[in-house]
A and B are shown apart, each in its own frame.
Chain A
């Protein structure tokens, strides 16, 4: 089974956020492996090494399925031992064991690829089921709890390997590329619970990386978005009324619903709390602003950060700042998605500032880039109305109705998910470096 991101990218209303038992530490899943005998560990290490060497990247092939079938303690024991061995060899780098160190690093890097592929494959499988685990993820659809799902522990294993490889100057850049690619891919999938932990780990290792700052900012931007804020508001309310279909109410927290079986509530994990999940919208957006400003200052060519900064500033009510932030991005060649996103944001801020001609010009630029995008037509309709051109406002919408939504979706709906380059492309590029 090929590991693909494409098929899920348009499930825009779907997002996963953490649901972690109150008081438990963030490293709950990353505890050391239990002890197993050295003899058994050696057998398992041999099998694991064979699997990573024969695994074909981006697939859930037989070696991947074999490792995926192992109990977690076995995988942890193997990886922990290999990581420990590598640390010992690092201390002996000047000794004849340097060749062994290189070989082990190569195996671990391939292991990183293998566990990444398993994690993606298990994501799809686990998402079909439901969980009562205390550290499950909450599946939100349109801001409402739908069910709880388990997550693959292979992300934990992958991060363990990545953390071991990161300090090595020879492997560090590839590990950084992995962290970037996975962060972009997970945001594309809406796996905000996993990406939260992933970025925490990444930023511990690469605190000054502007791309990771961009992704961290995007995470805060997402957590400040209405979809998650609506959910968080419901959870913060002390004793919300449960809406029953018969119209009666009861002062308990609503159980999540399955879309296909509305009368069968999914059992909620006990004593759950929303650690790591959104603070207030303003707090999240301000955190996003800080990350984007850092990213732009560290890499002025990182135009996506500039564009996202504009979005956040507009959300915070600073449309003048937003327009100033985004204009430079529109003066350079941009990939189509980013140009569209930038033009839409400029249009919106200019409209808020009462600069209707400039707003219309910006929306027109967005529409030129994606002629079928309903969002750009909606913006032009609003500006036309604000200019007193009601007939034009309506006609803009009539054009849209005959065009319909583009087959690949409206880019406006993707801005919380998509990066440029996107996660799938980055992951492919990273995999191509693993031999």
Chain B
């Protein structure tokens, strides 16, 4: 369930409507074909796949590895080796979707910590980076589509949250759709203090959404979040952090964003594989290392003619 909270931020209806309209009309979701892009290959999902872009984190001994080239990466698409190109990590701005739990199980002080955590992300925006903000309780409220207006974002993060149950899966679905629809590197930073209690969507379906979109999901959860958030992180090459205190969430958000900026951005044009269906990706680096990347992508010929 999703709606705009017109009471808290009366003007964002227009903002969101315009932004989503723009996205649908001009973004990669609607274009269904690569958009000319001086920065490099365009991100694709659920579409006719001409090129695939993957965010890759490489660590050795827990430390991020720097200085790798395209030749250092080995990517198998459904088991078939691909020719990998390394893109500049600054080639595309970050599109951060901040999805925050506004359910009733958070008390006032915990919400203050959550506001601070959101502020940490906003403070870390650089250059052309943008952030979108949504909260969720028993419904999902998009407070703003992508904007680089940090002042506005801070204002919205601090806006009241409505309370209620936890439509976590619905929120994740919306966040991934929004994140993947705009040009840039989509990352969903999601916080929840518990398990889903109110979504229309089920855990399995939202994991399928993760497979069909290009967003990287990084989730921080308090308590026992159930298996879906870790699964979303695994499928999208993101991070899942189980935290014990809300006053640590700001630090976790900062670490997530910092880690994401250290990731490599690689791309390849699939060759020797079927065009449609699920493609399992295997990403490795020569010399070894712990690699975190999305587990695959979905190419659907129907997407070319929706």
B166 touches A142 (CB 8 A): yes
Q: Which residue of B has the minimal Cβ distance to A14?
A: B104
| Residues on B with beta carbons closer than 8 Å to the beta carbon of A259 | 104, 107-108, 163
Which of these binds chain B: A124-132, A268-276, A302-310, A395-403?
Answer: A395-403
Identify which of residues 167-222 in chain B touch chain A, using a CB-to-CB cut-off of 8 Å: 170, 173-174, 177-178, 180-181, 194-198, 200-202, 204-205, 208-209, 212-213, 222
B16 at the interface (CB under 8 A from A): yes
A375 at the interface (CB under 8 A from B): yes
B170 touches A378 (CB 8 A): yes
Task: Mark each residue of chain B from 19 to 46: 1 if its CB lies under 8 Å from any CB of chain A, else 0.
Answer: 0110110010110100000000000011
B4 at the interface (CB under 8 A from A): yes
A374 touches B2 (CB 8 A): yes
Q: Which residue of B has the minimal Cβ distance to A389?
A: B306
| Residues on B with beta carbons closer than 8 Å to the beta carbon of A247 | 244-245, 247-248
Task: Mark each residue of chain B from 290 to 306: 1 if its CB lies under 8 Å from any CB of chain A, else 0.
Answer: 00000000001111001
Q: Which of B17, B104, B213, B303 has the most A CB atoms < 10 Å from its CB?
A: B104
A352 touches B1 (CB 8 A): no
- What is the bound-complex CA distance between A386 and B212, given in angstroms? 8
A12 touches B138 (CB 8 A): yes
A404 touches B3 (CB 8 A): yes
| Residues on A with beta carbons closer than 8 Å to the beta carbon of B21 | 398
| Residues on A with beta carbons closer than 8 Å to the beta carbon of B148 | none
A141 at the interface (CB under 8 A from B): yes
Shortest distance from the beta carbon of A127 to any chain B beta carbon, whole Å: 15
Q: Which residue of A has the minimal Cβ distance to B204?
A: A352
Q: Which residue of B has the minimal Cβ distance to A244?
A: B245
User: What total of chain B residues lie within 8 Å of the partner, measured CB to CB?
Assistant: 70
A233 at the interface (CB under 8 A from B): yes
Q: What's the dominant secondary structure at chain A's contact region?
A: helix
Q: Which residue of B has the minimal Cβ distance to A317?
A: B204
A227 touches B197 (CB 8 A): yes
Q: Which residue of B has the minimal Cβ distance to A226?
A: B197
A12 touches B165 (CB 8 A): yes
A344 touches B200 (CB 8 A): yes
B255 at the interface (CB under 8 A from A): no
B121 at the interface (CB under 8 A from A): no
Shortest distance from the beta carbon of B123 to any chain A beta carbon, whole Å: 21
A398 touches B6 (CB 8 A): no
A385-B212, A390-B29, A401-B20 as given contacts; A257 in contact with B107, CB under 8 Å: yes
B135 at the interface (CB under 8 A from A): no
| Residues on B with beta carbons closer than 8 Å to the beta carbon of A385 | 46, 177, 209, 212-213
| Number of A-B residue pairs having CB atoms within 8 Å of each other in the complex | 198
A390 touches B197 (CB 8 A): no
| Residues on A with beta carbons closer than 8 Å to the beta carbon of B166 | 142-143
B247 touches A13 (CB 8 A): no
A142 touches B109 (CB 8 A): no
A147 at the interface (CB under 8 A from B): no
A247-B245, A249-B244, A405-B3 as given contacts; A390 in contact with B213, CB under 8 Å: yes
- What is the bound-complex CA distance between A144 and B195, given in angstroms? 11
- What is the bound-complex CA distance between A401 and B142, given in angstroms? 8
Identify which of residues 380-398 in chain A touch chain B, using a CB-to-CB cut-off of 8 Å: 381-382, 385-395, 397-398
- What is the bound-complex CA distance between A344 and B202, given in angstroms? 13
B201 touches A382 (CB 8 A): yes
B244 touches A378 (CB 8 A): no
Shortest distance from the beta carbon of A298 to any chain B beta carbon, whole Å: 31
A352-B202, A375-B1 as given contacts; A141 in contact with B209, CB under 8 Å: no
- What is the bound-complex CA distance between A386 and B140, given in angstroms? 20
Task: Mark each residue of chain B from 73 to 116: 1 if its CB lies under 8 Å from any CB of chain A, else 0.
Answer: 00000000000000000000000000000011101111001000
B257 at the interface (CB under 8 A from A): no
B281 at the interface (CB under 8 A from A): no
A391 touches B104 (CB 8 A): no
A402 touches B13 (CB 8 A): yes
| Residues on B with beta carbons closer than 8 Å to the beta carbon of A402 | 4, 13, 17
A378 touches B201 (CB 8 A): yes
B70 at the interface (CB under 8 A from A): no
A410 touches B139 (CB 8 A): yes
Q: Which residue of A has the minimal Cβ distance to B173?
A: A382
| Partner of B4 from A227, A241, A388, A401 at Cβ < 8 Å | A401
- What is the bound-complex CA distance between A395 and B24, given in angstroms? 7
B157 at the interface (CB under 8 A from A): no
Q: Which residue of B has the minimal Cβ distance to A413?
A: B138
A150 at the interface (CB under 8 A from B): no
B110 touches A262 (CB 8 A): yes
| Residues on A with beta carbons closer than 8 Å to the beta carbon of B1 | 374-375, 378, 400, 405, 410, 412-413
A397 touches B174 (CB 8 A): yes
B133 at the interface (CB under 8 A from A): no
Identify which of residues 124-167 in chain B touch chain A, using a CB-to-CB cut-off of 8 Å: 137-140, 142, 163-166
A375-B200, A385-B212 as given contacts; A391 in contact with B165, CB under 8 Å: no
| Residues on B with beta carbons closer than 8 Å to the beta carbon of A403 | 3
A245 at the interface (CB under 8 A from B): yes
B232 at the interface (CB under 8 A from A): no
Task: Mark each residue of chain A from 245 to 271: 1 if its CB lies under 8 Å from any CB of chain B, else 0.
Answer: 111110000000101101100000000
A-B contact pairs, 5 of them (CB 8 A): A142-B137, A241-B244, A246-B247, A390-B180, A394-B177
Please list the 9 inter-chain residue pairs (A to B) with the smallest Cβ-Cβ separation, ordered nearest first. A388-B300, A262-B107, A374-B1, A388-B303, A388-B302, A247-B245, A142-B105, A389-B306, A391-B30
Q: A13-B137, A230-B195, A397-B20 are in contact. List 12 more A-B contacts (CB 8 A).
A: A142-B194, A246-B245, A260-B108, A374-B1, A387-B302, A387-B306, A389-B303, A390-B180, A390-B181, A390-B303, A391-B24, A400-B2
